[in-house]
Structure 1
């Protein structure tokens, strides 16, 4: 079903997020692959056959195969290379507790409610929901990496430690520093609004950085950049982000930091 009906447009929509569309254009093969019920070679060969038979777009086919032959194999190698250090790493020295609503989905942030709610319903969320919504918030909210990793391992049907830990600790939380990825993957509410319909109707505004209606993710994103400005300025891959920060007046930056302190002190009630 996936190869014939969803693969042709997988490349276009793989990063999109939409309410009431939990599976969208994804294959849902990760659990079968990780539990060794399906051989990765079979999947790759089926996709290559479809590419030739149906004249599929090369970038779509390459993008899907790269996730299996490239990224999946890479994280397996990194797990065996870097353990047990990977499980203990806490590059940013984050120690906030994981909010209880990670287990219930009962939060006023609609993007988190949607992504976590879907996860609780199906044991599944696609890579952007896991990385750029749920993981993004966990990093920006300075949550203890080990608590976040335990949650991912417990909650997702495809979570086997060798694949879960590198993706969560190494990529989503940047807990390994630069040993796994070259930059933290963080985003403000503006990114989530661009990639989804989650912000529609949410009580928080992704365009507001501080104040009563400010999106917690937007506020914490800018707070994170302010706090780690030197690190971001030192890398060509992240320098543009701090260039945008320089456009924000100092008084507003101070207000961002002050509001972030309030948010970080009440994560449980967001």
Structure 2
């Protein structure tokens, strides 16, 4: 009966609906509100919509659409000069691009809004030519294309060990990558051909690396939109410490009587290996 060694290798030194009306300035105005104002403070914005008026999107609501229609509807008893109505979105006037009727006024942007607050101001003139204004805000929050990000390797790593990261998201992204926050950037993630939508990558710890409980952030880019998600785990890397990594044979593997040991360490080092051997009659 053939006998094998069970080998346990240890290193002496290891570390563990709305239509649009168009004006001549339509396209010029469209470029002014693709991005919400950087000074926008929707939390402090006063909402003062009159009771005979309804608005959509509703104040304080979240919308998934990148180009939501903004509609102001008047109650049947409301008497206004609708043709004199004006609208501003994120401090840019869009009145010339609004559809104006006796029942409602509406506006739909020409370009996508980025995720974030959108502030709207409307000015109306009633039958007595008295002007009034009201404001409200809503938030654009488009669905993310990333489902999860995880560290799949050990969380405490030394020199030559790999920090493995997996990202699960939409198929066929234009680009995928991850970063060790504030430390290493633009580390590529490659889509698994056998599992479309699963992206894998790694960072090999180098001599001199040092990071304690670092957050790992995954990124996915599709159609000029970039999504990000932080892994729930954190990683600690200690590249400045002396490290020995045994590559072959694997721990607890079954080996023949004669075998070779393969591994990595720093140059010009003398390494002693202490084998722990068991026997099997199988």
Instruction: Say yes or no: TM over 0.5.
Output: no
Larger Rg: 1 or 2? 2
TM-score, normalising length: structure 2 = 0.19
Instruction: Give the structure with the higher percent strand.
Output: 2
Instruction: Give the structure with the higher percent helix.
Output: 1
TM-score, normalising length: structure 1 = 0.20
